[in-house]
Every structure is written in C-alpha cells, then in structure tokens.
C-alpha cells in the first residue's frame, strides 16, 4: 500500500459536539485529520452541527445520533459509505457506526457503555450491560474477514500502566479484572493490534481521560487510557504514527477525553 500522504484517522469522545464546537473546530484546523470519529455526541440527527465540519472541508458526514449521553458520528474529507449500525447494547442506544473507506477498509466507531459505579451485575444492571455489549463485540470480531479498524471510547483501561494507580483502581469500573479480561478476549477474537501500545510501548505512561473532579488535572495526573484504536493485522502494518493529544484537555470547556490519532500509509 502506498500514498503521497498518510491517511489520518482521529477518534474523540467529545462529550457533546455542540457544547464543544469551538474546540472541535480548533482541533480540525490544527491537526487536520482526514477522518474524525466522534463519540458521546449528545445530539439527535436533525440537530447535528454540520456547518462546523462542512466549512472546513469535511463534506462526508454520517451520524447515528441520540440525545442525552449517547450518539456517534464520522466526518470525513474522503468518501465514506455507511452500511452498519450494530445494536451491541441491545436496547436501541446509538453507540456504533461503521463505514467503508474508498480502499475497502472497514472503520468501526464504537462507544462502549461506562458501566455505572458498582462492578457487580447483580446490583448494578449497567455493569452487566457493559459486559454483554463487549460480549456481542467478541462474537462480531470472531466472524470478521475484511481489513478493519475499530476505534472509540472502549471505557476500559486494560493494562496496569494504563491508569495512574492500578492497585487503587482494581475495584473501580473501567479497570476491574473482569473488564480487562473481557477486553483481552475481544482483542484475541479479532486478532486486533492495539495501535496505541504498538507505538507507545508499555509500561510507558499513556492516558486519554482525566476526571472533571480534579481541580488541576495535569498536576494530579490521575488519568486512564479509555480510548483506543485497534486494527486487523494487514491494516496495522500500514500504521506509521500514533499520537494522543493531551493538550486538548486544557482547552476552553474541554471534554474529559482527548483525541487519539493514527496515520496510515495506505491508498486513499
């Protein structure tokens, strides 16, 4: 595969695309991704702010919107075609959007449920829904037979070095043993390559989320790596760079997540 310039794909849990319109625009202008996958857009389809993207050359916009705490979107400068919106939550929540790129690579944008506060499905149904969501993704991954990328907010920090203190967080939702084991099974089912850890090797610090509760997020640095970009082996071989844009966490009215970006040296 070859290209004069790598295809740049970004993913960002924006925590309301309308509330973060200014920083979305700034990110597009500064980083200039070819494709941006958004999660937690918190907007119905009819109210999606197309002009933020159209005015910057992102003419291909595909949305799976929902008010409140859901919604995903993919905006692109290159043609994309949508043909799947899986209900891995099994309740109609808008948490997935899949498209095909011009070169035939599949791009799947996913927003895994957070899972509530108590890591016990018997007392917290949201935790069970999260595990079941990942279970459906495992079944889907096992049947994949096309070059693919899956990216988004997985809401799981899988490695001990993916959180500020693994021992302190071992019973905290997003880093419990069962969630980490389930994510491992998902990765194995599709033989996915974790691009973040391909370029930024463990145990190097690598976070994508910091709580709003911290008065100074950078000083406390109690982060977690909840956002991921995985690729099938053939696509991963074309990845040439991966970056986490921590500076976005300090921008005006930030999301609690920051963008992740991967460059792929393959045909557009």
Q: Which helix (H) or strand (E) holds 210?
A: strand 209-210
Domains of the chain by residue range: 7-264
Q: Which residues in the chain land under pLDDT 70?
A: 1-4, 268
Q: What is the pLDDT of residue 68?
A: 79
Helix (H, G, I), strand (E, B) or coil at 214: coil
Q: What is the pLDDT of residue 2?
A: 44
Alpha carbons 236 and 265: distance in angstroms, whole number: 10
**Model-level pTM?**
0.96
Rg of the chain, C-alpha, whole Å: 17
Q: What is the pLDDT of residue 163?
A: 98
Residue pair 119/125 in contact by the 8 Å Cβ criterion: no
Helix (H, G, I), strand (E, B) or coil at 57: coil
Q: What is the pLDDT of residue 69?
A: 77
CATH of 7-264, one of 3.40.1110.10, 1.10.287.130, 3.40.80.10, 3.60.10.10: 3.60.10.10
Q: What is the pLDDT of residue 67?
A: 78
């Amino acid at each position: 595969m070859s290209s004069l310039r790598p295809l740049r794909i970004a993913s960002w849990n924006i925590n309301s695309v309308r509330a973060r319109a200014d920083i979305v625009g700034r990110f597009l202008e500064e980083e200039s991704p070819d494709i941006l996958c958004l999660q937690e857009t918190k907007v119905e389809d009819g109210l999606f702010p197309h002009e933020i993207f159209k005015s910057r050359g992102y003419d291909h916009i595909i949305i799976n919107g929902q008010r409140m705490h859901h919604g995903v979107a993919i905006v692109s400068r290159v043609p994309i075609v949508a043909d799947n919106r899986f209900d891995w939550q099994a309740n109609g929540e808008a948490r997935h959007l899949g498209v095909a790129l011009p070169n035939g690579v599949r791009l799947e944008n996913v927003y895994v449920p957070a899972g509530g506060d108590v890591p016990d499905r018997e007392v917290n149904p949201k935790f069970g829904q999260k595990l079941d969501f990942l279970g459906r993704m495992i079944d889907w991954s096992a049947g994949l037979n096309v070059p693919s990328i899956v990216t988004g907010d997985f809401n799981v920090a899988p490695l001990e070095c993916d959180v500020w203190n693994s021992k302190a967080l071992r019973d905290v939702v997003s880093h419990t043993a069962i969630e980490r084991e389930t994510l491992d099974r998902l990765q194995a089912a599709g033989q996915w390559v974790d691009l973040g850890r391909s370029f930024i090797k463990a145990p190097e610090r690598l976070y994508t989320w910091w709580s709003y509760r911290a008065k100074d997020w950078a000083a406390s640095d109690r982060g977690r790596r909840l956002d991921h970009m995985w690729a099938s082996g053939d696509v991963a071989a074309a990845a040439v760079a991966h970056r986490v844009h921590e500076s976005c966490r300090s921008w005006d009215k930030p999301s609690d997540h920051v963008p992740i970006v991967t460059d792929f040296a393959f045909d557009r």
